[in-house]
Amino acid sequence: MTRTWTPGTADDALTAIAGTPRLVIALDFDGTASPLVAEPMAARALPEVKAQLDRLAALPDTFIAYVSGRSMHDLQAITEHAEDSLIALAGSHGAQYWFPGVGDSEAAAVETDDGAREELWAAAQPIVERYENVRLEPKTFGMGIHTRQATPEVEAAVFAEIDALVAERFPHWRRRAGHRVLEFSSRAEGKDAAMIALRDHFDATGILFAGDDVTDEDAMRVLQPGDLGVRVGPGESAAALRVENPQQMAALLEALVAERTARQE
């Protein structure tokens, strides 16, 4: 059962993960490090989240990663990522990676079927244009249909048309539904794959993963004993802890800094 964490209170699970020898802190971006915004490319991590991640990254044997459904190029833009960054990136739901000191992994070079994504974009765009406040986001391995500013009725109608289109043209592509977004990808990887990749790359003894959406539950379900899942906001979850919003996520990270620093002194 997921229990709500109250800022300023102790929690055994948080204390336990703070003491793991090699810790990975992996965060979804939209809705977790950043509030959800109407224009997806305007998203930025809260300053208080960035500050705590910087403090964690400076600790020994402590590694930070953003895990997102965004394509790598867009993820690098919204995270304001630099080539000397200490923060790893897992994009496209775990199909693309960037690691500090290494750069892009080989997975980032894998392409979709020749012309398939462009064919899908071309077929979907006229549908999207018929609806108010709906936008198409081209992605490396597919697309996302965003409806954050649309009415529920518009969302239901456009999603139904897009579902029918993809079922006819690309029935084998993976479908994901999230907060006011519908995504399709030619790649099957989910954020569960990202947890495996991060654990292996950093030789982690524990992972703290936080996310706010349905797609984040792929990662929550493969967390192991000694890991910690944190759900940001409402919804059914396999996470052990819940915080209300990205601001409380920053408070939880601050508590983690304090716990881990005390353990390492």
Residues 80 and 196 in one domain: yes
Following DSSP, what letter does each residue of 166-228 receive, concatenated? Answer: HHHH-TTSEEEEETTEEEEES----HHHHHHHHHHHHT-SEEEEEE-SGGGHHHHTTPPTT-E
- 171: CATH: 3.30.70
The model carries a pTM of 0.86
Pairing of strands 96-99, 103-104: antiparallel
18: domain CATH number? 3.40.50.1000
Please tell me the predicted confidence (pLDDT) of residue 105.
Answer: 79
- 213 and 152 part of one domain: no
Q: What residue type is assigned to position 233 of the chain?
A: G
234 and 104, same structural domain?
Answer: yes
Report in angstroms the alpha-carbon separations of 118 from 140, 222, 263: 10, 33, 51
Strand ranges in the chain using DSSP code E only, listed in sequence order:
3-4, 23-27, 62-67, 87-91, 96-99, 103-104, 135-139, 142-146, 174-178, 181-185, 206-211, 228-232, 241-243
Enclosing domain of residue 152 = 116-185
For residues 95 and 147, membership in a common domain is answered with: no
Number of domains, the chain: 2
**Distance between CA atoms of residues 149 and 137, nearest Å:** 14
121 and 252 both lie in a single domain = no
The answer on 103 and 14 residing in a single domain is yes
Rounded to the nearest 10 degrees, how much is the dihedral formed by the CA atoms of 124, 130, 132, 133?
A: 20
Report, as ranges of residue numbers, the positions in the chain whose pLDDT lies below 70.
Answer: 106-114
> Are residues 197 and 98 both part of a single domain?
yes
- Indicate the residue among 168, 185, 202 that finishes a domain: 185
Dist CA 188 CA 183 (whole Å): 12
Last residue of a domain, one of 162, 185, 208: 185
Residue 93 and residue 43 share a domain: yes
17 and 47 housed in the same domain: yes
Q: What's the pLDDT at 265?
A: 73
Provide the Cα torsion 15, 18, 21, 24; round to 10°: 140
Last residue of a domain, one of 140, 166, 185: 185
One domain for residues 104 and 20: yes
How many helices (H) and strands (E) the chain has is answered by 8, 13
146/204 same-domain check: no
126 lies in the same domain as 205: no
